[in-house]
Chain A
């Protein structure tokens, strides 16, 4: 009896020491980890826009982040956008609320520093204090508007949609005509080797170059992926033995309007991603139009 008490105490103490050590390390590293995750997202964002270590971004490139929230109060559900605005040389932040039909409801000033904007919790607290307790606020998604000079050159959408089991988080880059420049899966819980293939080049690159109009009628086909098309899509894998520029152009032209070829054994995941991306782009085009109109009508000095 005495021994078992000794063992219990010894194990409890060792677990406590181990636990506090792990907790301490977590607390120290949490911030750096968040930072590195943020850098990761930035890197894939630039990657989607076609800038990497070989092609650096032009100097005049500007990124404006917009955060969309669902705002609920007694009058109904609205969309809220946290947008940067110009105030002289300073950049400030304004929360614009639009109702379901896109009518401007109200706007208020948000006091938040640029560094804190990256953090979801800080952002929410700032909005909550400004909006008052009568409104409940829920984070929906965010988007980035890329500008060179005074021209909008691209959009990057961060969104999620349901996959086979759980939500798939994706990043879609659009050009100024809402055509797809590239798609990246940031996180997912699909089955490895089956649905997990959605993050492989041969699947995700199929979305590249689809126009906004073409995307509306895009469907998923179960036909096998043609060998030349696969070779064309897997640019990273064949980097050392790349197909010639002219060949790539011919193949790209040939499969330009092609439907998405489903991953064998993972039709549901393929359909989910295709529908999700379609929906994401469609909703974005609708929302940005409403937001632009509201900004113009109310003369908000938006920074994009």
Chain B
């Protein structure tokens, strides 16, 4: 993949739909399955990933000409770890309420495949502008995926939405368990693929 030809809007939309990290690229499945038990978890993790993705993409695209090709991956990891630590410290100091909820998730982001993959595939070949919009698109895509998964699992598993009692009973307790994460991701992938086929068929006719 060489320099991108997409416009900024296209970059954002492709991050959310065509190349959605969870449903299309099937990356970062561990957090997607493990932490999407409630809408709140999904939202918070999505926001944290969005920030780290944007900051790391911008940094890498700025210094991409100075990175020795043999040590690309260590440099990416270092960049991500630095931004994660910075965000962790800033949140702990100035937004303690949110930090109490998000603290454990933020440190997990260092190991997320989606961020490293985006740096390797996109940021190290493009200028800072497209990299920024790609980071936003990918972050929003992850946020969208996590929120959808969280909504499905929280409503079906616990009968609540954002902690508010919606149904008054628990329809399927199974959806809170980790195994249900795979089921939900699978169903969502199927829906996305089906939507794509229909979209393509309409475009052709």
The chain A residues found within 8 Å of chain B, CB to CB, are 3, 6-7, 10-11, 14-15, 18, 21-22, 25-26, 29-30, 32-33, 36-37, 39-40, 240
Contact B86 A14 (CB under 8 A): no
Contact A29 B74 (CB under 8 A): no
The A/B interface has a contact count, at CB < 8 Å, of 49
**In the complex, how many angstroms separate the beta carbon of B108 from the nearest chain A beta carbon?**
15
Cβ of B129 within 8 Å of any chain A Cβ, yes or no, is no
Cβ of B34 within 8 Å of any chain A Cβ, yes or no, is no
Per-position 1/0 for B34-52, Cβ under 8 A of A: 0000000000000000000
Contact A29 B90 (CB under 8 A): yes
Cβ of B171 within 8 Å of any chain A Cβ, yes or no, is no
Q: Which of B68, B86, B89 contacts A6 (CB 8 A)?
A: B68
Contact B78 A14 (CB under 8 A): yes
What residues of chain A lie closer than 8 Å to B92, measured between beta carbons? 29, 33, 36
What residues of chain B lie closer than 8 Å to A26, measured between beta carbons? 89
Contact A40 B68 (CB under 8 A): no
Contact B94 A18 (CB under 8 A): no
Cβ of B198 within 8 Å of any chain A Cβ, yes or no, is no
Closest Cβ neighbor of B165 among chain A residues: A240
Separation of A39 and B71 alpha carbons in the complex (Å): 44
What residues of chain B lie closer than 8 Å to A29, measured between beta carbons? 89-90, 92-94
Cβ of B200 within 8 Å of any chain A Cβ, yes or no, is no
Top 4 nearest A-B pairs (CB, nearest first) are A29-B93, A32-B93, A36-B96, A33-B93
With A6-B68, A18-B78 already in contact, 9 other A-B pairs whose C-beta atoms are closer than 8 Å: A3-B70, A18-B79, A18-B81, A21-B82, A22-B82, A22-B89, A25-B85, A36-B92, A37-B96
What residues of chain A lie closer than 8 Å to B79, measured between beta carbons? 18
Separation of A33 and B85 alpha carbons in the complex (Å): 14
Ordered by A's residue number, 18 sampled pairs between the chains whose C-beta atoms are within 8 Å are: A7-B70, A10-B67, A11-B75, A14-B78, A18-B79, A21-B82, A22-B85, A25-B85, A25-B89, A29-B90, A29-B94, A32-B93, A33-B89, A33-B92, A33-B93, A36-B94, A39-B96, A40-B96
Size bracket of the B interface:
20 to 34
**In the complex, how many angstroms separate the beta carbon of B191 from the nearest chain A beta carbon?**
33
Contact A10 B93 (CB under 8 A): no
What residues of chain A lie closer than 8 Å to B165, measured between beta carbons? 240
Separation of A13 and B74 alpha carbons in the complex (Å): 13
Grouping DSSP codes into helix (H, G, I), strand (E, B) and loop, the A interface class, with mixed when no group exceeds half, is helix
Separation of A53 and B172 alpha carbons in the complex (Å): 36
What residues of chain A lie closer than 8 Å to B82, measured between beta carbons? 18, 21-22
Q: Which of A10, A21, A30, A39 contacts B86 (CB 8 A)?
A: A21
Closest Cβ neighbor of A29 among chain B residues: B93
Separation of A237 and B94 alpha carbons in the complex (Å): 28
Separation of A258 and B66 alpha carbons in the complex (Å): 69
**Known A-B contacts A22-B86, A29-B90; A11 and B96 likewise in contact (beta carbons under 8 Å):** no
**Known A-B contacts A14-B78, A18-B82, A22-B85; A36 and B93 likewise in contact (beta carbons under 8 Å):** yes
What residues of chain B lie closer than 8 Å to A18, measured between beta carbons? 78-79, 81-82
Per-position 1/0 for B80-105, Cβ under 8 A of A: 01100110011011101000000000
**In the complex, how many angstroms separate the beta carbon of A109 from the nearest chain B beta carbon?**
35
Separation of A21 and B75 alpha carbons in the complex (Å): 15
Closest Cβ neighbor of A18 among chain B residues: B82
